[in-house]
Amino acid sequence: MTRNPQLAAWLIAHRMRIDAVLAARLGPAAPRAGAEETEVLRRFRSFSAAALRHGEAAQPALDGLRANERRVTALLAAWVDAAGEASGPAGDGVRKTLRPLLTRFQGSLKTTTASRRKRGTTRTRRAVIAAIDRVADAFLAVDAENARVVDANPAAGALLGVARDALLGVDAMSFVPGPVRNEWWTELDAVTEETEPRRFRGQLQDSQGSAIDVECSVTRFATRKRTLALIIARPTA
């Protein structure tokens, strides 16, 4: 790759500006300070800056990272887009330069996390993801106890204004307007106690805070470890 020390220096000097753009783009799905995923983004920035300074990409330093691979992959792509936006007219060039480094870093991250997966779960997981992706309405699998998003489909990401994998691990209530959050908690509480599907009308809000009226159906899915609320949300407007 071609050396680009100017861009390397810019990435470091403007890291706070890039992070601010990322936070504005993702809203409630933005990485939190001190979170594992924030450390992954920091290491990608350091990896990219070093590669641009020296003209070659070293092996990414991923030791000790345990972040959710799917969410982090989405956040890394969003960070590159945020860097492009923050750079103004030079944005297209910045994205074009960073994308090969992004691919290299994501590949190493995937290899690292794949080595930790248990054998026998991958095929089942892929089948579940494929089925979820085919649902036309927004789908969210939410932990009924803490409201964390366990899974989502592309339609949910489109509805809420972020990549679907960026929703993983996020507090689902951060995408619900404050005045109606108690109503959503009531539905989640009911899921833990009832086996019959529930239907209700409610509101969500996208990453920019715009309210979305939705009609929802909620189904209970319980394992020995937790109870999930499987939510299908269809906009009514």
Note down the domain range covering 157.
122-235
Which of 77, 98, 114 marks a domain boundary?
A: 114
Which of 90, 114, 138 marks a domain boundary?
A: 114
Domain co-membership, 128 together with 28: no
The span from the CA of 103 to the CA of 89, in Å, is 23
Number of domains in the chain: 2
Q: CA separation (Å) from 193 to 133, 188, 225?
A: 28, 9, 15
pLDDT in tens, 31-73: 988 888 999 999 999 999 999 999 988 888 788 878 888 999 9
Q: What pLDDT is recorded for position 20? A: 97
Domain co-membership, 24 together with 69: yes
Domain co-membership, 109 together with 20: yes
Domain co-membership, 109 together with 139: no
Domain co-membership, 103 together with 129: no
Domain co-membership, 127 together with 229: yes
pTM of the model: 0.84
Query: 69-86 and 36-54 helices cross at what angle (nearest 10)?
Result: 50
Rounded to 5°, angle at Cα 167 from 194 and 146:
40
Mean pLDDT, each 10-residue run in order, the chain (237 residues): 93 96 96 90 95 90 83 95 96 96 90 55 61 84 93 94 94 96 92 85 96 95 88 92
